[in-house]
Chain A
Amino acid sequence: MVRRLPRKDVVIVGLGWTGSILAYELSRTGLEVVAIERGPWRDTATDFNIGTAPDELRYAVRHDIFLRPKQETLTMRNNPSQTALPIRKWGSFLPGNGVGGAGVHWNGQTWRFLPDDFRIRSHMLERYGEGIFPENHHIQDWPVSYDELEPYYDKFEYLAGISGKAGNVKGRIQPGGNPFEGARDRDYPTPPMRQGYAQELFTKAASGLGLHPFPRPSANISVAYTNPYGCSMAPCTYCGFCERFGCANYSKASPQTCVLPVLVRQPTFEARTECEVTKVNLAGDGKTATGVTYVDAAGEEWEQPADVVLVCAYALFNVRLLLLSGIGKPYDPASNEGVVGRNYAYQTGSGSTAFFEDAKFNSFAAAGSLGVAADDYNSDNFDHGPHGFVGGASITSAHTNGRPIQFHPTPQGTPNWGSQWKKAVRDTYQRVTSVGAQGSVMSYRNNYLDLDPTYKDPLGRPLMRMTFDYQDNERKMANWMADRCDEVAKAMGAKTTQVNRLVGPWSVVPYQSTHNTGGAVMGSDPKTSVLNRYLQSWDVSNVFVMGASAFPQNAGYNPTGTVGALTYWSLDAIKKYLKSPGPLVQL
Chain B
Amino acid sequence: MRWRSAILFAALAVIGGAKADPDNYVIARRGRALAIAGDCVACHTAPGGTPLAGGLALATPFGVIMTPNITPDDATGIGRWTKAEFARAMHEGRGRNGAYLYPAFPYPYFAKVTREDTDAIFDYLRTLDPVSNAVNRRTLPFPFSVRALMIGWNSLFFKPGPFVPDPQHSPEFNRGAYLVEGLGHCGACHTPMNAFGANKADQFLQGNRIDEWTAPDITNDQQSGLGKWSVDEVVQYLKNGQTRTTTASGPMRDVVEHSTSKMSEADLRAIAVYLKERGAAGGPVPASVPASDPRMQVGEAIFVDTCSACHTRNGAGVEHLFPRLADNAIVRQSDPTTLVRIILTGVRGAGTDVFPTSPAMPSFGYRLDDNQVAAVVTYIRNSWGNTASPVDAELVKTLRSHVAGPVERSAAQ
The digit string for B376-413, where 1 denotes a CB below 8 A from any CB of A, is 00000000000000000000000000000000111100
Do A237 and B309 have beta carbons less than 8 Å apart?
A: yes
Binds A, one of B42-50, B315-323, B324-332: B315-323
A249 within 8 A of B: yes
Do B309 and A51 have beta carbons less than 8 Å apart?
A: no
Q: How far is the CA of A293 from the CA of B130 in the complex (A)?
A: 36
B114 within 8 A of A: no
Binds B, one of A15-23, A203-211, A224-232, A567-575: A224-232
Q: How far is the CA of A47 from the CA of B366 in the complex (A)?
A: 16
Closest chain-A Cβ to B128's Cβ sits at a distance in Å of 18
Chain A residue contacts of B201, Cβ below 8 A: none
Do A239 and B309 have beta carbons less than 8 Å apart?
A: yes
Do A265 and B348 have beta carbons less than 8 Å apart?
A: no
Q: How far is the CA of A265 from the CA of B352 in the complex (A)?
A: 9
Residue in B310, B356, B366 whose beta carbon sits within 8 Å of that of A234 in the complex = B310
Do A265 and B320 have beta carbons less than 8 Å apart?
A: no
Closest chain-B Cβ to A470's Cβ sits at a distance in Å of 38
Residue in A47, A51, A231, A239 whose beta carbon sits within 8 Å of that of B356 in the complex = A231
Chain B residue contacts of A257, Cβ below 8 A: 357
Do B321 and A50 have beta carbons less than 8 Å apart?
A: no
Residue in A51, A234, A261 whose beta carbon sits within 8 Å of that of B318 in the complex = A234
Do B355 and A249 have beta carbons less than 8 Å apart?
A: no
Q: How far is the CA of A395 from the CA of B264 in the complex (A)?
A: 55
| Residue of A whose beta carbon sits closest to that of B348 | A45
Residue in B362, B408, B409 whose beta carbon sits within 8 Å of that of A50 in the complex = B362
Q: How far is the CA of A248 from the CA of B410 in the complex (A)?
A: 12
Chain A residue contacts of B354, Cβ below 8 A: 230
Also in contact, A261 and B367, with CB within 8 A (given A46-B409, A232-B321): no
A85 within 8 A of B: no
The digit string for A354-370, where 1 denotes a CB below 8 A from any CB of B, is 00000000000000000
Q: How far is the CA of A232 from the CA of B359 in the complex (A)?
A: 9
Residue in B318, B351, B410, B411 whose beta carbon sits within 8 Å of that of A224 in the complex = B318
Q: How far is the CA of A262 from the CA of B355 in the complex (A)?
A: 9
Q: How far is the CA of A51 from the CA of B344 in the complex (A)?
A: 13
For chain B, which range describes its interface: under 10, 10 to 19, 20 to 34, or 35 or more residues?
20 to 34
Do A265 and B356 have beta carbons less than 8 Å apart?
A: yes
Closest chain-A Cβ to B180's Cβ sits at a distance in Å of 28
Q: How far is the CA of A193 from the CA of B248 in the complex (A)?
A: 31
Q: Which of A232-251 contact B (CB under 8 A)?
A: 232-235, 237, 239, 248-250
Q: Which of B285-344 contact A (CB under 8 A)?
A: 306, 309-310, 318-322
Chain B residue contacts of A46, Cβ below 8 A: 360, 408-410
Q: How far is the CA of A233 from the CA of B359 in the complex (A)?
A: 10
Number of A interface residues at 8 Å Cβ cutoff, please give it: 27
Closest chain-A Cβ to B273's Cβ sits at a distance in Å of 27
| Residue of A whose beta carbon sits closest to that of B409 | A46
A335 within 8 A of B: no
| Residue of B whose beta carbon sits closest to that of A230 | B356
B363 within 8 A of A: yes
Chain B residue contacts of A250, Cβ below 8 A: 321, 357, 359
Q: How far is the CA of A48 from the CA of B306 in the complex (A)?
A: 15
Chain A residue contacts of B364, Cβ below 8 A: 51
A49 within 8 A of B: yes
Do A265 and B357 have beta carbons less than 8 Å apart?
A: no
Chain A residue contacts of B309, Cβ below 8 A: 50, 237, 239, 249
B358 within 8 A of A: yes
A586 within 8 A of B: no
A52 within 8 A of B: yes
| Residue of A whose beta carbon sits closest to that of B358 | A261
Do B409 and A261 have beta carbons less than 8 Å apart?
A: no
Do B320 and A232 have beta carbons less than 8 Å apart?
A: yes
Chain A residue contacts of B411, Cβ below 8 A: 49, 52
Do B353 and A45 have beta carbons less than 8 Å apart?
A: no
Q: How far is the CA of A230 from the CA of B240 in the complex (A)?
A: 11
Chain B residue contacts of A45, Cβ below 8 A: 348, 358-360
A44 within 8 A of B: yes
Do B356 and A49 have beta carbons less than 8 Å apart?
A: no
Q: Which of B320, B357, B411 has the most CB of A within 10 A?
A: B357
Chain B residue contacts of A224, Cβ below 8 A: 318-321
Closest chain-A Cβ to B350's Cβ sits at a distance in Å of 12
Closest chain-A Cβ to B79's Cβ sits at a distance in Å of 27
Q: How far is the CA of A261 from the CA of B409 in the complex (A)?
A: 19
The digit string for A28-57, where 1 denotes a CB below 8 A from any CB of B, is 000000000000000011111111100000
Do B357 and A232 have beta carbons less than 8 Å apart?
A: yes
Closest chain-B Cβ to A193's Cβ sits at a distance in Å of 16
Q: Which of A226, A232, A239, A261 has the most CB of B within 10 A?
A: A232
Q: How far is the CA of A265 from the CA of B261 in the complex (A)?
A: 14
Chain A residue contacts of B409, Cβ below 8 A: 46-47
Chain A residue contacts of B360, Cβ below 8 A: 44-46
Q: How far is the CA of A234 from the CA of B360 in the complex (A)?
A: 13
Q: How far is the CA of A237 from the CA of B318 in the complex (A)?
A: 12
Q: How far is the CA of A231 from the CA of B356 in the complex (A)?
A: 6
Also in contact, A249 and B408, with CB within 8 A (given A45-B359, A234-B322): no
Chain B residue contacts of A226, Cβ below 8 A: 320, 355
Q: How far is the CA of A226 from the CA of B409 in the complex (A)?
A: 28
Do B362 and A49 have beta carbons less than 8 Å apart?
A: yes
Q: How far is the CA of A262 from the CA of B353 in the complex (A)?
A: 8
The digit string for A247-276, where 1 denotes a CB below 8 A from any CB of B, is 011100000010001100100000000000
| Residue of B whose beta carbon sits closest to that of A261 | B356
Q: How far is the CA of A234 from the CA of B310 in the complex (A)?
A: 8
Q: How far is the CA of A49 from the CA of B359 in the complex (A)?
A: 12
Q: Which of B212-234 contact A (CB under 8 A)?
A: none
Closest chain-A Cβ to B412's Cβ sits at a distance in Å of 11
Q: How far is the CA of A234 from the CA of B322 in the complex (A)?
A: 8
Q: Which of B354, B362, B367, B411 has the most CB of A within 10 A?
A: B362
Q: Which of A364-406 contact B (CB under 8 A)?
A: none
Residue in B310, B351, B356 whose beta carbon sits within 8 Å of that of A249 in the complex = B310
Closest chain-A Cβ to B333's Cβ sits at a distance in Å of 25
Q: How far is the CA of A250 from the CA of B348 in the complex (A)?
A: 14
Chain B residue contacts of A47, Cβ below 8 A: 409-410
Pick the 7 closest A-B CB pairs, nearest first: A45-B360, A49-B362, A232-B320, A261-B356, A234-B318, A261-B357, A232-B357
Residues of B within 8 A of A (CB): 306, 309-310, 318-322, 346, 348, 351, 353-360, 362-364, 366-367, 408-411
Residues of A within 8 A of B (CB): 44-52, 224, 226, 229-235, 237, 239, 248-250, 257, 261-262, 265
Known: A47-B410, A52-B411, A230-B357. 15 other contacts (CB 8 A): A44-B359, A44-B360, A45-B358, A49-B346, A52-B362, A224-B320, A226-B355, A230-B353, A230-B354, A231-B356, A232-B355, A234-B318, A237-B309, A249-B309, A262-B356
Would you list 27 pairs from A and B whose C-beta atoms are within 8 A, ordered by A residue?
A44-B360, A45-B348, A45-B358, A46-B409, A47-B410, A48-B410, A49-B346, A49-B363, A49-B408, A49-B410, A51-B367, A52-B410, A52-B411, A224-B319, A224-B321, A229-B356, A230-B354, A230-B356, A232-B321, A232-B357, A234-B321, A249-B310, A250-B321, A250-B359, A257-B357, A261-B356, A265-B351
